[in-house]
Amino acid sequence: MKKLSVYQIFLIFILLFITLCVYLSILDAGYAPTDDWLMLRSYSGSLKKISLAYIVNTFKNFHEGLYHPLVTLSYTLEVNLFGFIPAVFHLDNILLHLINIYLVFLIFFKLSKNNYWVGFIVAILFALHPTRVEAVAWISARKDLLYAPFYLLSILFYLKHNENSDSHSIFSVYMYISVLFFLLSCFAKSMAITLPFFLILIDLYTNKFNKKKIKWYSIFFLIALIFVFLTFVSHYNTITFDSNERLQLTFFKTCVNFINAHFNIIFYLDKFLLPINLYCLYPIFYEETLYMPPWFIMYSPLVLYLMILLICLSLKKTKVVFFGFMFFLVTIAPVSGVFPIGDFAVADRYTYLPYLGLFYIFAKFIVFLSYKYNNLIKAITICFCILIEGTFGYLSYNRVIDWKTNHYGPPIKMKYYEFGITKKTEKESIIIPKQQETYKRHVKIGIRK
């Protein structure tokens, strides 16, 4: 890898320092009413001692309908060393985010053929985009921060393998390390199962795809399938069936979820461009199976597929747009809502890694403009980037304050999320009361701490 200059390293440290300043105020926050104390309280009986038996038991069992043993062990270590001090959990979340920023820079620096500014712009966007705040400020979102470094390290060692593919021994070492980090990433959060698809995407993008790698792809996919199974067992095994809330695994319900997934992906694209009105507990926009979905749900597949068609056509000019968008699409697919896991269909924390693909498209475009055109265009481009990052930093800082003061969720009286649509009849208002009760339940649990 090309060596960085002192000036370039200094800029990276400045970015890390600015990010630290943006998130520093969260250290004064306590536990969030939504899940934090519920999660830690359920650990309280077993987090007092670290032993081999405890570690083995952690890997053998689910927790609160989830399988994330590395997250449990990270909480265990913090409690053993410092006790139940909120600032410790928040500080570790910030440190994990800073580590991830540096890893993101390294990966996209390599993917852009050692173009420093592409890697740096992606790192800035990743560091300061307002949708990052939920993952960093929420103690319960530790799994998103913890699966990310292993996921990114797996990619990094895979790229090292691609650089040294002429040597069989180095090839094997780097690939085994990549597989190991992928496994650790899955132990932190099963959302990591998308990695095998992304590795194939990298090989297609860098012209490194060949039949010799099929055996390695098979290993990655086998691990992914195991964790898909564990995820479904851990979640659906905890759901109780009763007359009020019956699990509807019907063909029609699956169709509704499939349509919703298209809209959820478009929703994430909207929040990428306009990260405002961010909430911790977004409503499920449509769930009822007896009535026609709203117009914006019905049209979403057409919009998304048209977008994908245009992106495929862009391959005639460049691979960048296709690569970046497919990275986003592949990594966001498990949480798009086709098979809902949890009470809420969308969440800012789910975009923690998927947005990297979109950041990469933006970074490549900005660098292209600055190199292709005259000094005036270059100056305008730089000012535009500074304006965007300044705005993102300001929004993120204020979002951190929202989390610090527990003003991060939607108003309980909200009847519908802000799409300019008014519910006309009580019959049509189906899902929101359920969302309100979930929100109230979470707040009530937090108050009892």
Compute the distance between CA of residue 46 and CA of residue 35 in angstroms, rounded to an integer: 18
Predicted local confidence at residue 72, as pLDDT: 86
User: Over the chain, what is the mean pLDDT?
Assistant: 81
- The yes-or-no verdict on residue 295 having pLDDT over 60 is yes
Measured between alpha carbons, how far is 406 from 20 in angstroms, rounded to an integer?
A: 20
Handedness of CA 4, 9, 11, 15 (dihedral sign): positive
pTM: 0.85
- pLDDT on residue 278: 86
pLDDT of residue 305: 93
Is the model's pLDDT at 45 over the cut of 60? no
d(CA 32, CA 38): 10
In the chain, the amino acid numbered 289 is T
CA distance 229 to 231: 5
Q: What is the pLDDT of residue 328?
A: 96
Q: Identify how many contiguous H helices and E strands the chain contains and give both numbers.
A: 17, 0
The average pLDDT across 163-183 equals: 77
pLDDT tens figures, 120-147? 999 999 999 999 999 999 998 899 999 9
- Report the share of the chain in percent with pLDDT over 90: 45
Tell me the average pLDDT across 403-410.
76
* Cβ contact 248:289 at 8 Å: yes
Token digits for 74? Answer: 């990270």
Model pLDDT for residues 84-116, shown as the tens digit of each residue:
888 999 999 999 999 999 999 999 999 998 899
Over the stretch 248-293, which tens digit does the pLDDT of each residue have? Answer: 445 666 677 788 888 889 999 999 999 988 888 776 666 555 566 6
- Write the pLDDT tens digit of every residue in 314-366: 999 999 999 999 999 999 988 887 766 555 678 899 999 999 999 999 999 99
Residue 419 predicted with pLDDT over 50? no
